[in-house]
Structure 1
Amino acid sequence: MSHIVVLGAGYAGLTTVLRLQKKLKHQDVSITLINKHRYHYQTTWLHRCAVGLYSENLARIDLDRILDKNRVTLKKETVHKIVPDIKKVITDQAAYTYDYLVVALGAEINTGEVPGLDSFAHSIITLARANRLYNRLLTVIEDYKKSNQVEPLNIVVGGGGFTGIELIGELKEQLPKLLQQYQVSPENARITLIEKASTVLPEFNLELGEYALSQLEAEHIDIKLQTSIKEISRHTVKVEHGGIIEALPHDLFIWTAGVSMPAILQTALFHDNTGVLILTDDLTVDGYPDVYVIGDAAETSGQSNENVLPNADIAIQKGKYCADHLLKNLNHKQAANDFRFKAYGSRIASVGQRDGIGLLWNKKKVVGKVAALIKQIADHVVVLQMGGLKFWSHVFIKSRIKE
């Protein structure tokens, strides 16, 4: 019997497992899915969870309800070590040998990038962190109400990329509502965005970034461009702009910028002496054709791949490719073609519930309500791509019934 071990149940890992359990017929193959939780969560919804717009239950999908227990064994464990030379994965509870390994652990916050980041910053990189941020936001508002202070309530967001702008877009709409619940005037709150580039959303183009910038400035968001974050402390953020150092006050600091490869991959034996993990064009590690690395963890070595940012679309495409490549190997057939990302869909960033910016598949730019509508449709398309109608019903129907 062949044994496939999959690490991580994010977009890439879960897509791989769902596709394998659907396409494996009578092959003598077992799959072990190792994940920190017994659920998958919709990463693209975390900015909404962080402000209380979406509940935790809505964004979370119970893995036990969607996995084929005759084919897949789910283990709620934390991976500690990968030893590819002896085909072994070691977790906090057990050790697993494998014939094929799929590493889909996503990315982590690079806490060494800025002093104080680990101790004083919140983030939305996971569902648990998004929930903690929401609870902290409520606590900060309640404390502000009790203090009767004259100075404004300061919320500072570090990073004006995709995640930062989507979070700011929700904050500008939801924060006034939360403040009113605690009988605090929305005029008493100030949101500041810090971005080291010369515009926001640098991963799009200048025109779309400028549109998003103007929309946020119209909502009185204080945006500091070409500004670097140097240090974070409990109540201040030290920044540099044009060689001048300044300390900005904050009651809540949220980091949405740099992430890095998971520590487990940084310490694995199969990266080069620079610490960079570069994959072959079939998403396997050079020298270890039985180890796939998909999701946000690494980039391929091929020069013909389009330079694209980590997102749900590319993670799902890697998951599908990985499953099909595994099926070819299991059936002793010629492997599939090299992985190439295909930009079928649109790249859309929301700037609140009724506003957004984006590039369509035909490179046409869209903004405003049209972009926001396409973003809502894309939420459904992503889920359909992962696991078809059955998975879509779990996400959009059964979870809402539980609500």
Structure 2
Amino acid sequence: MTHIVVLGAGYAGLTTVLRLQKKLKHQDVFITLINKHRYHYQTTWLHRCAVGLYSEDLARIDLATVLDEKRVTLKKETVKKIRPDMKQVTTDQATYTYDYLVVALGAEINTSEVPGLESHAHSIVTLARANRLYNRLLTVIADYQKSNRSDSLKIVVGGGGFTGIELVGELKEQLPKLLEQYQVSPTKAQITLIEKASTVLPEFNLELGEYALSQLEAEYIDIKLQTAIKAIARHTVKVERGGIIEELPHDLFIWTAGVSTHAILQTALFQHQAGPVRLTDDLTVEGYPDVYIIGDAAETTGQSNEKVLPNADLAIQKGKYCANHLLAKIDDKQRPSHFSFKAYGSRIASIGQRDAIGLLWNKKKVVGYTAAMIKRVTDHIVVLQMGGLVFWSHVFKRSRRER
């Protein structure tokens, strides 16, 4: 019997499992999928969940409905330790041995980066956190309504990259509606975005970043560029710009910036490890050809040797490659050539429901309503790429019912 253990059911991990269960022909190969939850969630929808536009149920997909129970065993457990020297994974409930291990645990917020980040910041890195943020947003508005304060309700977002801009784009549209539900004038709220770079969306080009910047400023978003966040307290955030330090008040602080490698990988005892885990060109750990690390858990470089920022397209491509590589090993066939990310799809960042910026597959720039519609199409393509028409039908037929 060959045992494949997959850690994590995000875009990369679930894509690997769905492809394996579809393509595996050997009856003596079985898969254990270990995940903290019994569901997968659409990470690219979390900024909408965080403002109440999408429900938690809409973004969540019950894993039992998409897994082949004859081939895959789902374990709702939390990974505690990886022992590659013993081919073991330990969770909060059991220890598993494996023939092949796929680590797709994603990245985590680097809480050591800024003092107070862990205690006083909200985020949208998981569905649970996005849901908590929405509930906290409603609480903050309710408290403001009861306080009869004369100053504005202040929401501060740290990070002007992809996640930060998409979140602020939804906030600028949904916050006025939420305020009106609590009989608070929309003019009483102020959204501030803090970014240490000289423009927003540095992962795109300057022209697209400037477009997003102008669109947000037109909606009276206070954008502070070239500003570093130094510390976060319960009601203030300390920032530095040009050597000058000041404290900005906030009612709600949201962190969308830096993440780090998952803590499990930082403690895994890989031989000769010094610093980050080193991967070969087939996504296996150097010295451990039975261990794959995919998804956001490891950095990736593109065809021009530039760093590729984590995104769903990259995670899905890694998942497909990993599954194909495993299938070739099990069947003792020629293995795929080294992994290389190919930006087949469009890279789109929304700025609300009817505005966006992006780069198409042919490097053409696109902005405005056209880009927003392409973003909606991309949502469908992501799901199709993960699990084909069957998975797509499950996700979107269910989402239409719940809307």
TM-score for both structures, normalised by structure 1: 0.98
Structure 2: distance between partners of 1:301 and 1:203: 14
Question: How far does the alpha carbon of each residue in 1:91-129 deviate from its partner, in whole angstroms, 9 at most, with x for none?
Answer: 000000000000000010000000000000000000000
Equivalent in the alignment of 1:390: 390
Alignment of 1:79 with 2:70, yes or no, is no
Equivalent in the alignment of 2:186: 186
Structure 1: distance between partners of 2:187 and 2:314: 41
Equivalent in the alignment of 1:6: 6
Structure 2: distance between partners of 1:21 and 1:215: 45
SS in 2 for 1:296: helix
Alignment of 1:166 with 2:166, yes or no, is yes
Asked whether the 8 Å contact 1:238–1:246 carries over to 2, the reply is yes
Cα distance change on mapping 1:188 and 1:271 into 2, 3 Å: farther
Equivalent in the alignment of 1:138: 138
Cα distance change on mapping 1:308 and 1:271 into 2, 3 Å: farther
Alignment of 1:312 with 2:312, yes or no, is yes
Alignment of 1:380 with 2:377, yes or no, is no
Cα distance change on mapping 1:307 and 1:25 into 2, 3 Å: same
SS in 1 for 2:322: helix
Question: How far does the alpha carbon of each residue in 1:278-332 deviate from its partner, in whole angstroms, 9 at most, with x for none?
Answer: 2110000000000000001113589865531110000000000000000000011
Asked whether the 8 Å contact 1:102–1:291 carries over to 2, the reply is yes
**Which amino acid is the alignment partner of residue 156 of structure 2?**
V
Q: What are structure 1's unaligned runs of at least 5 residues?
A: none
Structure 2: distance between partners of 1:302 and 1:40: 27
Cα distance change on mapping 1:271 and 1:342 into 2, 3 Å: farther
Equivalent in the alignment of 2:243: 243
**Which amino acid is the alignment partner of residue 195 of structure 2?**
E
Residue 393 of structure 1 deviates from its aligned partner by 1.3
Matches for 1:347-386 after TM superposition, within 5 Å: 347-386=347-386
**Which amino acid is the alignment partner of residue 20 of structure 2?**
L
Equivalent in the alignment of 2:17: 17
Equivalent in the alignment of 1:346: 346
Equivalent in the alignment of 2:88: 88
Once the two structures are overlaid, the 10-residue window that deviates more, 150-159 or 304-313, is 304-313
Question: How far does the alpha carbon of each residue in 1:312-357 deviate from its partner, in whole angstroms, 9 at most, with x for none?
Answer: 0000000000000000000111211000011111110000000000
Structure 2: distance between partners of 1:115 and 1:304: 36
Alignment of 1:111 with 2:72, yes or no, is no
Structure 1: distance between partners of 2:42 and 2:260: 20
Equivalent in the alignment of 2:211: 211
Alignment of 1:329 with 2:319, yes or no, is no
Once the two structures are overlaid, the 10-residue window that deviates more, 309-318 or 293-302, is 293-302
Question: How far does the alpha carbon of each residue in 1:120-155 deviate from its partner, in whole angstroms, 9 at most, with x for none?
Answer: 000000000000000000000000000000110000
**Which amino acid is the alignment partner of residue 36 of structure 1?**
K
Residue 3 of structure 1 deviates from its aligned partner by 0.1
TM-score for both structures, normalised by structure 2: 0.98
Asked whether the 8 Å contact 2:299–2:307 carries over to 1, the reply is no
Aligned length: 403
**Which amino acid is the alignment partner of residue 401 of structure 2?**
I
Residue 271 of structure 1 deviates from its aligned partner by 7.2
Residue 270 of structure 1 deviates from its aligned partner by 1.8
SS in 2 for 1:349: strand
Asked whether the 8 Å contact 1:82–1:264 carries over to 2, the reply is yes
Structure 1: distance between partners of 2:306 and 2:199: 23
Cα distance change on mapping 1:272 and 1:257 into 2, 3 Å: farther
**Which amino acid is the alignment partner of residue 24 of structure 1?**
L
Cα distance change on mapping 1:272 and 1:365 into 2, 3 Å: farther
Alignment of 1:46 with 2:50, yes or no, is no
Structure 2: distance between partners of 1:347 and 1:164: 15
**Which amino acid is the alignment partner of residue 33 of structure 2?**
L
SS in 2 for 1:220: coil
SS in 1 for 2:289: strand
Equivalent in the alignment of 1:201: 201
